[in-house]
Structure 1
Amino acid sequence: MTDNKICDGRVVIVTGAGQGIGRAHALAFAAAGAKVVVNDLGAELDGTPKPDSGAAKVVEEIRAAGGEAVVNGDDVSDWEGARRLVATAIETFGGLDVLVNNAGIVRDRMLVNLGEDEWDAVIKVHLKGHFAPMRHAAEYWRNESKAGRQPDARVINTSSGAGLLGSVGQGNYSAAKAGIAGLTITAAAEFARYGITVNAIAPAARTRMTETVFAETMAAPEDGGFDAMAPENVSPVVVWLGSADSAAVTGRMFEVEAGKVTIVDGHRHGASVDRGARWNPADLGPAVRDLLAKSVTPEPVYGA
């Protein structure tokens, strides 16, 4: 029989958990027995402050169902805010086992029209907003390991198909999500000695960040059937990655859509040619064309 309490007793932070995919993660972890820190800055889609956050409502839902949760309103892209977030878990629940980096914003625009502030905001929230909480959590886990209390810790990052394949009109978002993919495999290699696994997901679901881009394809079914784009479809993979059962899995990327889970192979060394000496530029045309003929055609960029 499947254990529905697969994360029983584990302490989990979920960033950007006031609504959408983050909310679904928080509720799913709580249902699986975890104690959850529900983080949300309470911002509009473009990152500007919002009068009230949905995080408190998510905490109320978890507590009403008999679970344990606490709200945190820190900005994950702020160094001290990220430190306070990790401290919230440790001080409230006595430790930390899982960090789910989910918070994000979009400011979509063609690159030729993209402003510096729009670039900086998206890179900061997504990329620094992943690094800063992970850095403080990893420091805590490293100290635990050095003290002889080897962690069984997990980091689950959130990339995107845009970061893996590119997306027209989302150059800033694509760059940030690609950075998260690279950050994930580097962290997995560096943190293994401390008992920490690091994986990432590239989810496809109906959220604030996708509803304007994929409004028609991501609409909920009117007949009450299986909602393929429901955010809740993504969370089971994240909960499993946060469990003890996933200890042997690290440095991997999972695409998650509806009931489909796909392993992303990532960049791999392909065909090569070695001249054994420095190339003459004029000789490279035939050589490169031959290499491309032997290679797999790249997946198309979204929106191209």
Structure 2
Amino acid sequence: AGGPGSPAREVVDAIAAAGGEAVAHGGDIATAEGAASLVTTALDAFGRFDTLVNNAGFLRDRMLVNLDEDDWDAVVRVHLKGHFLPLRHAAAHWRAEAKAGRPPAARVINTSSGAGLLGSVGQSNYAAAKAGIVALTLVAAAELGRYGIQVNALAPAARTRMTERTFAATMAAPADGSFDAMAPANVSPLVVWLGSAASDGVTGRVFEAEAGRITVMEGWRPGPTEDRGARRSPAEAGDTVRRLLADAEEAGQVYGAS
């Protein structure tokens, strides 16, 4: 929510104190009404809408056999649906602008996670939603580029209200004044750049950002393949898979796996 004393209001106040302008939006972005009002709130306040950063979310971590349907639905709703609906309503506005002869230089930054790229033990709901955000990003970039809209995804690692509760020791700021690897300020410059005109031509990409490191994630792409031009028996299919795996890269390590 964006009322007095809320985190959103604190951000608005901090931006105003730095000489900027901001408004808070307290709607539910996992509803069509809330997502549409997010866009109209920005348009009413500033007269234009240039960049959308989708970053809403929370955790309900459970091992798979302990995860219930409510935990699954709640996490997928806020992360995946909460990305789709703001993106859909922002894109509709930008498409209308383009068709009216006012092509935008629009930018979307979606928030994925290492859990969505590699998996994370105890986070099957969160990992599935974050993987879905990557696929949504790729499709949106392919569909919306014709309207002047660039769409990228970022998998950040930083200290937030959410990560402080789950990974308290890892996220803690160093007491000795050394480089604070988990400070959100390490990640935000990439978000700013991706949301700016300087990022022209960069779309359909997924990045990781943590501490002083930025990584381009290369994702799923064809690896070793073998085409015999004929059907295989199950045993022959197995033999082929064994040969291909011998030449393939090792699968990425799932976070938390032993």
TM-score of the aligned structures, taking structure 2 as reference length: 0.97
**Paired position in structure 2 for 1:99:** 52
Secondary structure, counterpart of 1:291 in structure 2: helix
**Paired position in structure 1 for 2:112:** 159
How far does residue 110 in structure 1 lie from its aligned partner after superposition?
0.5
Higher relative helix content: 2
How far does residue 51 in structure 1 lie from its aligned partner after superposition?
9.3
The structure 2 residue matched to 1:171, chosen from 124, 128, 132, is 124
How far does residue 301 in structure 1 lie from its aligned partner after superposition?
0.2
Structure 1: which 5+ residue stretches go unaligned? 1-40, 43-49
How far does residue 52 in structure 1 lie from its aligned partner after superposition?
5.1
The structure 2 residue matched to 1:143, chosen from 96, 101, 125, is 96
How far does residue 123 in structure 1 lie from its aligned partner after superposition?
0.2
* Closer, same or farther: CA 58–234 of 1 in aligned 2, 3 Å: same
Identity of aligned residues (%): 67
* Closer, same or farther: CA 147–229 of 1 in aligned 2, 3 Å: same
> Distance in 2 between the 1:294 and 1:57 partners?
53
Residues 1-304 of structure 1 mapped to structure 2, 5 A cutoff? 41=1, 53-304=6-257
The answer to which of 211-220 and 253-262 deviates more is: 211-220
TM-score of the aligned structures, taking structure 1 as reference length: 0.82
Letter in 2 for 1:62: I
How far does residue 210 in structure 1 lie from its aligned partner after superposition?
2.1
Structure 2: which 5+ residue stretches go unaligned? none
Listed one character per residue, the Cα deviations across residues 245-267 of structure 1 (whole Å, up to 9, x for unaligned) are 10110000110001110000010
* Closer, same or farther: CA 51–242 of 1 in aligned 2, 3 Å: closer
Letter in 2 for 1:260: R
> Distance in 1 between the 2:29 and 2:165 partners?
25
> Distance in 2 between the 1:140 and 1:269 partners?
36
Letter in 2 for 1:96: F
Secondary structure, counterpart of 2:23 in structure 1: strand
How far does residue 60 in structure 1 lie from its aligned partner after superposition?
1.1
Secondary structure, counterpart of 2:94 in structure 1: helix
CA RMSD of aligned residues (A): 1.3
How far does residue 186 in structure 1 lie from its aligned partner after superposition?
0.4
